[in-house]
Amino acid sequence: MAAATPCPNCSALLSAPAHVLLVTCSCGTRVRLGSTAGGHVGGEPADLYSVLGVTPDATADEIRAAYRRRARETHPDTGGNAAEFHAVQVAWEILGDPGRRRDHDRGHRPGGTGPVEVPDVLGVSVLVAVRRMAARGLTPVILLHPCDPDDPLHDLVIGQNPAPGAASAAGAGVQVIAAGSDAGVVWRGLRRDADRVADQFRGVAADTAAAAVSAAAGAGRRLIRALVRLVAVTAVLALSIVIGVYDAATGLAVLAIGSGAIIWSIVRSDRRRSERRRVRHRK
């Protein structure tokens, strides 16, 4: 039996059988046993990718979409857990920055035949847990733990042995404890993964569409500016030619003044756009 852990919302003491590390409090809060900081000790969770619900080979767009989804799920204003929400923010701050992500990956990558860090698979589907264990060179051993079908943790991983962050030999077995009592937990996990991937795809598609609209709008503005300048140049040339027929000197003067005005307008417009870009960059 694991040591009792207080619920961060109602302070009720919670416990579970050995190696079960994730439970649901009667108030509806998801609690990791043995931790009051949302499943991590110190400032950084053991496995940042599991916090966001993605695999270590996820693209930057997939990580961004997963962060948005997990932020909505865990935000306290929408009924989420404040500790989990904080862990999601920490994961995004590191994985969302290419340099910090590389540093994190170097520190958590298995080193040849030496010890391997056991990933954190609590709260994910069985299929995701299996993929993460296999990616670390570990052998997952699936165990089912009886669970009420109405429990929010049903069909999810609620425990593991060794615990997240522990050192294990490459190829060693790791018990993955899932809440459920039949083989349907795998099928339901597959459907859950499909929904997650679809949600990430919608997020990436929305970002891509927004970028396309912004690019199209920028191209439209550039085209309008080019047309206006072309019309202005044409008008100055036509006017100077017409006047030059009657008075060559006056025609040349009109051409010089008109050309100067157009050049001044172009330079001024370009300076304004450069200033706006510098302001946006500073923000």
Backbone angles phi, psi at 168, to 5 degrees: -140, 155
Helix (H) or strand (E) holding 158: strand 157-161
Report pLDDT for 88.
85
Report pLDDT for 59.
92
Backbone angles phi, psi at 150, to 5 degrees: -85, -5
- Round the CA-based radius of gyration of the chain to a whole number and report it: 30
Report pLDDT for 43.
41
pLDDT tens digit string along 84-114? 787 788 889 889 999 888 877 765 554 444 5
**Pick from 68, 28, 10: which is nearest to 201 by CA?**
68
Residue 240, burial from CB neighbour count under 10 angstroms (0-12, 13-18, 19+): buried
What is the CA 182 to chain-centroid distance, rounded?
Answer: 33
Consecutive 10-residue runs of the chain (283 residues): their mean pLDDT?
A: 74 86 87 57 58 87 92 83 79 88 67 68 86 85 84 88 82 87 63 58 54 57 74 72 64 74 78 72 59
Report pLDDT for 131.
84
Residues 22, 81 contacting (CB under 8 angstroms): no
Token pair for 139? 């052998």
Report pLDDT for 198.
56
Whether cis (ω within 30° of 0) applies to the bond prior to 164 is no
How many residues in the chain?
A: 283
